[in-house]
Structure 1
């Protein structure tokens, strides 16, 4: 055999070896049901099982909360299922080691990312429980209850024909058995961070779970929890309210929780036939393999090395010339962090293929808003073009919260703001995306301007109990105090918070 033939044989053998140890990445699939849009680069069967499980979980929560079983939210939640924790950094570069999922209520998208697991879906169920609570209950729950609710229902075992709620959380039990419990007064009052304010107390989540489980484990305690929550929601002191409605001091509560943990924790078995829901599955184009997750990273807008991110996206999108999704991601990257003119040209080319592409229209409107502020001479022209893009986006999708958010934000500071139409835009953004801090703050401000301060307080109270973002919580408490004092947007004291509030709500703490 000649040397050239030997070389070709060796190259072929090497290629086969590489294929054997490095299988090609599976294409991304997109599944859609009544309440979810789920993306996965795993197999279709596993994806369909996930969709059914989440649809059942939503109905379990509805059953326990007394909500209509078949009611669907105005917006489906996108979820990205990834193969391992390493893929999470493609969305959230600052993800901590061993983090298995994240829920992100960002301005451009509200979505979750979770690792696929055959045996443990608790992270994904925890995140959806948060999403569900904010979607359906505008009530100032204490911070421990918000986390305890999510932890309690995350330990739900969903099998065909059988659902078990409130399973033991072995990890939480381990922390509580071997860790130093935080003070019960701090737990009840929502003081979850340590003295320096940089991290949670290690037993905060476990204690929130245990307290929720203790309340749920007995019919009489469940009734006392309802009374306690109503008391705290009406402004009662969370520590005093506990003793009022349970008869226990914080010392007694600690002892009761330790005793409950040593007993056999009660599990609720649901005897209910949950329906199988229709699910459609489609295979995404090859561009999704390169760009799907990094597109979500652009929406999160975290990290400092934006130049490297844009350069990466330019390289990846070049692999897919003329592909609509690649054009969208490149256009987003250029407008946000790169060359805005190139971004506009890319998105304009996309609109030539798909004139009703909502995200492209929104991004072009966003570019016009930014450009108008930088070039005051062309302000009126830019604003008219922006309104045109948003009008087209609304006509293409009349239930997209980001369109309403852009319409409302664009009017801030304009003559006559906030008009009745401005108030309507904020109300629509909030109704579709109540999980979004920007929507709550914006609507609260508009309500205060219309002397509807009590409604503004109701909107802001859940944010005031935010244990993850002290900055947002502090701004919310300040606004609540001003609303309760009867101030409206015509008062100088009431308008002083605008910039601070908007800056605070541009940030978030991923769960």
Structure 2
């Protein structure tokens, strides 16, 4: 279900093929590295001057909400390019360009790795960006600059946004290699606002190096496996490069693109991925591998998309000083804090929030910490005070409703449980009136109904359908909806809801659980119980650039 389209067309669009001598330039790895990093810097903030103060800015556009400590000008430029990138993906995917998303994606741009660690203490040493899908929020975080290996937070962000876009806009369930190949293909987009053009089909220097220098992952393993299922290190290193190459090969030729569509249709109807590939291309895997090898030795065909891209309507506001202390740690709490760390995090939030008195954001984060991390009375006091100041604060109302639902489950007193449920319902009604499009409110409304004798009724199914429309990236949303559909006897639709999650390369335990659920549904059995690990938040930590193999020189000529 989509909100009504509005008139923000991309006018007019011209697409032309460009023959780019990628592999001639890739003869020297460092030359390729410099070229690709230059393209990524074109996406925005990497080389932008920084503001003299550290206040956070919030930029909101049609599709994005971007938080940054950088200058307002660079932030506006960055968001404009994000909007263009999204429109180009819509255009290339056959989606009406005027279609607006049911939810804007929040992005947090930080100055360095310490900022990522404030959100996710488990960020890897070379991580420059991460995508998070949790019940409380779906968002991305990226470093504004490149790391010491030249890996850019911007290319990572584009990769992860491509995943977000695919889950939100493509109803089909795609094989894992193409989910990654699609993201790899689009993440190198070079956007030139002055020329009103976008170049697609560029390469990532590290991926190019692995294609030219090393043995490839066998195509049968690539076609059938998610990245986390590949055991051999050398094969894992070439999973993303070959996924990109195969995607590029298909996308570069109209006849091959038709073959690719036939392959996807075959797989979506239950065909074996390897056999479907051979049927669609008319090649054995050895012949396909040879064709891809030949493809690396010619001028690769990219796409130049030109048009009068509309200027995005961007509103920039300066956040209160409390955001300097509390913005990122609040995002951390949305992901869940391990029990051993809860007391320390709660103390830190309490100390920082106290600096800002009755600042609304400080009250929100203090309330969030209190309810989540162990001091529930203090958390409730902060949130109740906040809704006195801001009666329509949706996050505060959601947190209070969630707290009442928790108390409903924990009490043995029926009258007390009824009181808590009524309070939860009142808070959710206020939250829904303030923002009817918020997926979190819809999720809590469904949770409140679970266990009732009439659940799931038609209103429950409508609410879950709306929630899936607004948060298709969430595993818990798909699990709940699929379970309700199964209870209603619609097993085929339940399987369709679970398929994208089952094929998600970064779904972790949730993807494996979806596979088990689909197997049970196809066999006509009962759905399996899910563990906490299987429904935990999904963290798509930046796929690290595969390192240059030991003993090999990145400047060695390509063979």
**Normalising by the residue count of structure 1, what TM-score does the alignment of the two structures yield?**
0.90
Cα displacement string for residues 259-291 of structure 1 (whole angstroms, at most 9, x for unaligned residues):
222322222111222111111111111001111
Structure 1 residues 181, 484: closer, same or farther in 2, change over 3 A? same
Instruction: Measure, in 1, the Cα distance between the counterparts of 2:95 and 2:459.
Output: 31
Q: Is structure 2 residue 192 aligned with structure 1 residue 159?
A: yes
Structure 1 residues 23, 448: closer, same or farther in 2, change over 3 A? closer
Q: Is structure 2 residue 481 aligned with structure 1 residue 451?
A: no
Higher relative contact order (CA 8 A, sep 6+): 2
Structure 1 residues 398, 24: closer, same or farther in 2, change over 3 A? same
In structure 2, the residue matched to 1:77 is 105
1:321 aligns with one of 325, 345, 357: 357
Q: Is structure 2 residue 79 aligned with structure 1 residue 43?
A: no
Structure 1 residues 98, 219: closer, same or farther in 2, change over 3 A? same
2:420 aligns with one of 382, 393, 399: 382
How do 1:62-73 residues align onto structure 2 when only pairs under 5 Å count?
Answer: 62-73=90-101
3-state SS in 1 of match to 2:540: coil
Maintained 8 Å contact 1:190/1:465: no
Q: CA deviation at 1:483?
A: 2.6
Specify which structure has the higher proportion of helix: 1
Instruction: Measure, in 2, the Cα distance between the counterparts of 1:104 and 1:199.
Output: 28
In structure 1, the residue matched to 2:163 is 130
Structure 1 residues 199, 358: closer, same or farther in 2, change over 3 A? farther
In structure 2, the residue matched to 1:12 is none
In structure 1, list runs of 5 or more residues that go unmatched: 1-21, 488-492
Q: Which consecutive segments of 4 or more residues in structure 1 shift more than 6 A?
A: 195-200
In structure 2, list runs of 5 or more residues that go unmatched: 1-49, 542-559
Q: CA deviation at 1:319?
A: 0.8
Structure 1 residues 203, 450: closer, same or farther in 2, change over 3 A? same
Q: CA deviation at 1:471?
A: 2.1
Q: Is structure 2 residue 455 aligned with structure 1 residue 417?
A: yes
Cα displacement string for residues 104-140 of structure 1 (whole angstroms, at most 9, x for unaligned residues):
1110011111122499521111111111111111211
Q: CA deviation at 1:225?
A: 0.8
Maintained 8 Å contact 1:129/1:150: yes
3-state SS in 2 of match to 1:329: helix
Q: CA RMSD in A?
A: 2.1
Structure 1 residues 314, 197: closer, same or farther in 2, change over 3 A? farther
In structure 2, the residue matched to 1:13 is none
Q: CA deviation at 1:419?
A: 1.8
Instruction: Measure, in 2, the Cα distance between the counterparts of 1:198 and 1:310.
Output: 40
In structure 1, the residue matched to 2:393 is 357
**Normalising by the residue count of structure 2, what TM-score does the alignment of the two structures yield?**
0.83
Instruction: Measure, in 1, the Cα distance between the counterparts of 2:280 and 2:428.
Output: 51
Instruction: Measure, in 2, the Cα distance between the counterparts of 1:179 and 1:290.
Output: 46
Q: CA deviation at 1:468?
A: 2.3
In structure 2, the residue matched to 1:171 is 206
In structure 2, the residue matched to 1:404 is 442
Structure 1 residues 415, 453: closer, same or farther in 2, change over 3 A? same
1:439 aligns with one of 473, 477, 480: 477
In structure 2, the residue matched to 1:150 is 183
Instruction: Measure, in 2, the Cα distance between the counterparts of 1:194 and 1:76.
Output: 32
Q: Count residues with an aligned counterpart.
A: 482
In structure 2, the residue matched to 1:507 is 537
Cα displacement string for residues 426-473 of structure 1 (whole angstroms, at most 9, x for unaligned residues):
112111111111111111111111112211111111111122234222
